[in-house]
Amino acid sequence: MTVSQREIDNAARAINAGELVAFPTETVYGLGADALNKDAIRKVFALKGRPSTNPLIVHCRGIAHARMFAADWPDHAHDLANRFWPGPLTIVVRKNAFIPPIATANGDTVALRVPANDTARALIEAASVPLVGPSANPSGTISPTTAQHVQDAFPDLLVLDDGPCTTGVESTVVTFAHVTPRVLRPGVLGHEELGVAPFEATSGSDGSSSDPKTSPGLFKSHYAPRARLVLDQDVPGAERLHLPDNAADAARELYARLRALDSTGTDTIVANTPKGTGPIWDAIRDRLRRAAAPAD
Ligand code: TXA
Ligand code: MG
């Protein structure tokens, strides 16, 4: 951890005062606020320009902390929490009354996660509250994997800089609420390893859903660069996305490379859909498809 305890304490004071702080996680940087403070949560939606129908993930200290906010805690969810927390897994369960409705878009479920990053964990510990933590980017744009990415979009925001994120794509979201346990958002942890049903990209013809039982906010056009992203086609004059051959390296580099190409000012970025197998490549393909989907 490259962040000092002094910086952590300072950030925790800001959180406790109802302010926002960007913090690193192993996946992407998060926009943190006190998950028990509805005014602070309102600021998160406002700063991101996030639709109020898209619920937030609540970041917790550990399993016991997360369970405080759950109305149900199925055995299978517990087993996964035991095996993969801290780590890039978000578990959706039925919520109790502790987390304000605004955080969960008035739904009856809550998404819980224990991040595997020492700075994130120290911040949750020092603030003594769970933190909402959407990715620290304006809604619909590429998630930030460095503190600089956050600062580029939000120059006035306090950012805890712990260097580049090691995983690079957002956590796998798994739901245990209402339905057969299944993946709502692919991530580096795959459905087979988790023992749940796979992700299905079928949440309505426009790819979006406002039904919290399915995949709220998993809008088809998401994670998008400013330039148009075209998959598996050549476009003269376009910038081309190259990814490392190793899946973990590719996931770690994906967003920074898309940003770098975007910042050339090009109109068009082209990419080949990677052919690799396994959950990490599945997650990368998912993000590329979303980035290439036309904005609504
Ligand atoms: O890796 C991550 O998960 C990062 C880091 C910062 O923790 N956070 C993140 O948050 O990606 P965000 O808000 O950008 O994405 C959260 C996803 C959204 O697609 C949202 O719709 C879904 O999780 N989600 C949140 N609460 C949910 C719920 N109660 N039921 C179903 N999906 C939910
Ligand atoms: Mg996001």
Domain containing residue 58: CATH number: 3.90.870.10
Which atom of ligand 1 is the closest one to the Cα of 30? 6
Say if 199 falls within a structural domain.
no
Say if 71 falls within a structural domain.
yes
Q: Phi then psi for 111, rounded to 5 degrees? A: -95, 125
Whole-number pLDDT of residue 223:
76
* Whether residue 166 is found in the same domain as residue 251: no
* Whether residue 43 is found in the same domain as residue 131: yes
Whole-number pLDDT of residue 204:
37
Q: State how beta strands 30-34 and 57-59 pair.
A: unpaired
Q: Which residues line ligand 1 (CB under 6 A)?
A: 25, 27-28, 30, 54-57, 90, 92, 104, 107, 109-111, 113, 115, 133-135, 170-171, 173, 175, 184-185, 212, 216-218
- Which residue range(s) make up the domain with 31? 5-194
Which atom of ligand 1 is the closest one to the Cα of 135? 14
> Which residue spans within 75-189 are E strands per DSSP?
89-94, 109-113, 131-132, 158-159, 172-175, 182-185
Which atom of ligand 1 is the closest one to the Cα of 50? 13
Say if 248 falls within a structural domain.
yes
The pLDDT averaged over each successive group of 10 residues in the chain (296 residues) is 94 98 98 98 98 98 98 98 98 98 98 98 98 97 97 98 98 93 98 97 46 50 85 96 98 98 96 98 97 80
* Whether residue 52 is found in the same domain as residue 163: yes
Say if 217 falls within a structural domain.
no
Whole-number pLDDT of residue 2:
85
pLDDT, one tens digit per residue, over 40-71 is 999 999 999 999 999 999 999 999 999 999 99
Say if 208 falls within a structural domain.
no
Say if 200 falls within a structural domain.
no
* Whether residue 122 is found in the same domain as residue 258: no
The torsion of the CA quartet 155, 160, 162, 164, rounded to 10 degrees, works out to -30
Neighbours of ion ligand 2 (CB under 5 A): 135
DSSP 95: B
* Whether residue 53 is found in the same domain as residue 10: yes
Ligand 1 centroid to residue 23 C-alpha, Å: 15
Say if 223 falls within a structural domain.
no
Last residue of a domain, one of 194, 215, 247: 194
Ligand 1 centroid to residue 228 C-alpha, Å: 24
Instruction: Note the helical H segments in the chain.
Output: 5-16, 38-48, 63-67, 75-84, 118-127, 147-153, 191-194, 247-262, 279-292
Nearest CA to ligand 1 atom 13: 134
* Whether residue 257 is found in the same domain as residue 179: no
Q: Which ligand is nearest to the CA of 27?
A: 1
Q: What pTM value is reported for the model?
A: 0.94
Ligand 2 centroid to residue 105 C-alpha, Å: 15
Number of domains in the chain: 2
CB-based contacts of 152: which residues, under 8 Å, 6+ apart? none
CB-based contacts of 106: which residues, under 8 Å, 6+ apart? none
Say if 203 falls within a structural domain.
no
Which atom of ligand 1 is the closest one to the Cα of 218? 19
